[in-house]
A and B are shown apart, each in its own frame.
Chain A
Amino acid sequence: MLPFRSHLSLAAAALVFVLPVVAAMVIGGAWVGIIAVVVGFVVLDVAFIPPYGTLTVGSGQNWVALVAYVAVVLLVAKVVSRLQQLRADAARNATDSRRLLELSELLVADKPVSEMLGVVASSVLGAFDLETVALLLPSEETGYLEVVASVGVTLQGESLERLMPAPGTPASLTGSVVAGALLRQIPLAAAGRPVGLLVLRGRALDVHDRALLATYANHAALAIERAQLRHQALRADLLQEVDAWRAALVGTVAHDLRTPLASIKVAVSDLREPGIVLADAARRELLETIEEQTDRLTRLVSTVLDLWRLEAGARRPKRESVVVEDLIDEAAALVDSTLDASRLRKVIAPNLPPAEVDPTLIAQALANLLENASRHSPPGREILVEAMRRRGSPDAIELAVSDSGPGVPPEQRELIFDLFHRGAGGGRAGLGLAIAKAFVEAHGGRVGVGVSRAGGARFVLTLPATSGPSRELPSEEKVFS
């Protein structure tokens, strides 16, 4: 414009100068705008107001033009900065809403509590650009606050000590003791009940941040409460299941204990009744009954104790390499009072590897199957025990007990191993099968039932075989406990 300055009026030049200054303001913001106003003012004065090259303004007309220029530009600057403020607020609000939405989406997802708490902490960390965010919840056992989720720089030393009072000092959720200037604690409360503490370390937060932080805190509190309620509900369900299981076990044990007691009581009351004359044979039979039933009781009690120890985790199977035939003989010895050994036929596959099992538990499991077979077979009929390698898996041995009883209908084949199962007549199948299943499964094995060749039931146990060099040992050299 310089070449034309003699032809241009100062008003026109000032008007032209408004354009770049406003542009600079819109693009660069308030500070760039103010610099542009000053630069524009100086250039206008130096270059377009005679005398040129000096800051002298000269005539009153020039003053009017300059003042008008500054007034217009300042008004524009005011409007522009207001607009920019609104735009920035809108952008910030949009970001906040998006983050809250993301947080709430993460919180409603079906996640374990610990993961959910991690999500809360990291989203607070991201939203407020902090150094550390930690969540503290009261511990279920002690009731003291504990760090359950922490992101960013790990809290340690004094900050941690301030947050978590030493044992003996009850933790306060509602207090807001700030340890160090940068450590901020936000109590989390849901339904009027304190649920935890949110701890932030990092930059100072303004009013807007604090309002947003309150929203985050409420979200976190609700999520924690929901997770705790869910946890409680799950635990209640589990407890109910355990209770039902225990009740079934107690009921079955009571029934199985009372059955031998009934025979013993009848036999004893016969023997000691003064007016009753018993033949020697009858007397002997009663004494036999008492002995058998006492053995049955003893075995039942020790088996139930083993079962309880297994269930409680106090007893682990003591595995050793056991020759399968010895297992069968041991099982037969356990039931010799109720099962005549001559009824038992053993078929053992050649070159069968020893089983890698706890002999006490597995002999008992097998004895229960034998007892079950003898109870359901017609008197005197053969009971077949087979042992073979499992087809297709060389590391597994199958033991099968077949009877010629009425068999198990297909729809009952899963149920009969269940403690809760009641037989067709309303009587319980008894503990025997449930115990056999528990003992075999403790070895990683399986129990199933099918149809025997005689049309009765065929119970099959799958057991782990001993692998490696011990397989080559002849059975005579093995030592058993």
Chain B
Amino acid sequence: MTKVLVVDDDPALLRALRIGLEARGFEVMVAHNGAEGLSRASQAIPDLIVLDLGLPDVDGVEVCRRLRQWTEVPVIVLSALDSEDRKVLALDSGADDYVTKPFGMHELEARLRVALRHAAARNPAAAVSSLTVGPVHVDLAARVVEVGQAPIELTAREFDLLAYLARNAGKVCTHRSILREVWGPGYGNETHYLRVYASRLRRKLGDEAGPLLRTNPGVGYQLVDERPAPSRS
């Protein structure tokens, strides 16, 4: 059974999340603050962590950073409107995805499944020479990209961008992290480059509507091979 650790300081939300996740076949552990969350994560080794950013003791961003020092467990952060700015920080610190409160269980479950599947695929990532995300096949060694068996022409930069997103498939990659990894350490604020390259990639991948390369406005990009359930707000 998949073990999920939920860290939130609101007992009512914890209770509702526990019931909902258990009904969907997850094994649920809860923690009421950051310190308890960190210690439970190290003892029980969950398969996934749902982490609220507004914790009473340790900032959610800091919890994320400390988790990433020893584990690659997928982390989905719960952000409220007053923690929007820290949502990007949390993603930069290694969180995989985010859900904005209030959210429906359906949406949360979809995000959990995506994060779990990509985490499973990502594990032996260091050794792989090719990646497949939905219809897209990226051969890292030969630097060849095929969409549904048909090879497509990409510039070197476009290929690097796609390869980085594919290596982190399912994860929300922030503007800053993409610019650093693909353009180089001197970059970080040139989000307009990304807009241009993302639209070129979408065109070449036949993905103009964007179900594959998802834009998170103000946050970053995410390569997903299935469309997460739309929010029912």
Within 8 A of B (CB), among A216-259: 251, 254-255, 258-259
Digit string of A252-271 for contact with B (CB within 8 Å is 1, else 0)?
00110011111111110110
* Segment with Cβ contacts to B, from A23-31, A111-119, A299-307, A418-426: A418-426
Tally of contact residues, B, Cβ under 8 A:
38
In Å, the complex CA distance between A170 and B10 comes to 62
Is B56 on the interface with A (CB-CB < 8 A)? yes
A266 touches B10 (CB 8 A): no
A269 touches B106 (CB 8 A): yes
B16, B24, B82: the one within 8 Å of A263 (CB): B16
In Å, the complex CA distance between A277 and B24 comes to 9
- B residues within 8 A CB of A338? 11
Residue of A264, A269, A277, A286 with most chain B CB atoms under a 10 A cut-off: A269
In Å, the complex CA distance between A260 and B10 comes to 9
B15, B60, B106: the one within 8 Å of A289 (CB): B15
B103 touches A265 (CB 8 A): yes
Is A293 on the interface with B (CB-CB < 8 A)? yes
A258 touches B23 (CB 8 A): no
Is A428 on the interface with B (CB-CB < 8 A)? yes
B24 touches A258 (CB 8 A): no
In Å, the complex CA distance between A85 and B17 comes to 101
B23 touches A278 (CB 8 A): yes
A264 touches B56 (CB 8 A): no
In Å, the complex CA distance between A270 and B106 comes to 8
B102 touches A425 (CB 8 A): no
- A residues within 8 A CB of B22? 282
Min CB–CB distance A374 → chain B (angstroms) = 10
Is B55 on the interface with A (CB-CB < 8 A)? yes
B103 touches A262 (CB 8 A): yes
In Å, the complex CA distance between A296 and B55 comes to 20
A254, A278, A424: the one within 8 Å of B56 (CB): A424
In Å, the complex CA distance between A379 and B16 comes to 18
- B residues within 8 A CB of A286? 16, 19
Is A292 on the interface with B (CB-CB < 8 A)? yes
Min CB–CB distance A318 → chain B (angstroms) = 32
A262, A269, A276, A425: the one within 8 Å of B101 (CB): A262
Q: Which residue of B lies closest to A427 (CB)?
A: B54
B10 touches A425 (CB 8 A): no
- A residues within 8 A CB of B60? 425-426
In Å, the complex CA distance between A282 and B81 comes to 29
Within 8 A of B (CB), among A276-291: 276-278, 282, 285-286, 289
Q: A273-B106, A276-B23, A424-B56 are in contact. Are A259 and B10 (CB under 8 A)?
A: yes
In Å, the complex CA distance between A286 and B108 comes to 17
B34, B82, B103: the one within 8 Å of A255 (CB): B82
Is B20 on the interface with A (CB-CB < 8 A)? yes
Min CB–CB distance A272 → chain B (angstroms) = 9
A263 touches B12 (CB 8 A): yes
Q: A251-B82, A258-B101, A425-B54 are in contact. Are A266 and B59 (CB under 8 A)?
A: no
Min CB–CB distance B28 → chain A (angstroms) = 12
Q: Could you tell me which B residues sit within 8 Å of A by CB distance? A: 9-13, 15-17, 19-20, 22-24, 33-34, 53-61, 78, 80-83, 86, 101-106, 108, 232
A-B residue pairs in contact (CB < 8 Å), sample of 28: A254-B82, A258-B80, A258-B102, A262-B80, A263-B16, A265-B104, A266-B13, A266-B20, A266-B105, A267-B16, A267-B19, A269-B104, A269-B105, A269-B232, A270-B20, A270-B105, A276-B23, A278-B19, A292-B12, A293-B12, A425-B55, A425-B58, A426-B54, A426-B61, A427-B54, A427-B55, A427-B56, A428-B82
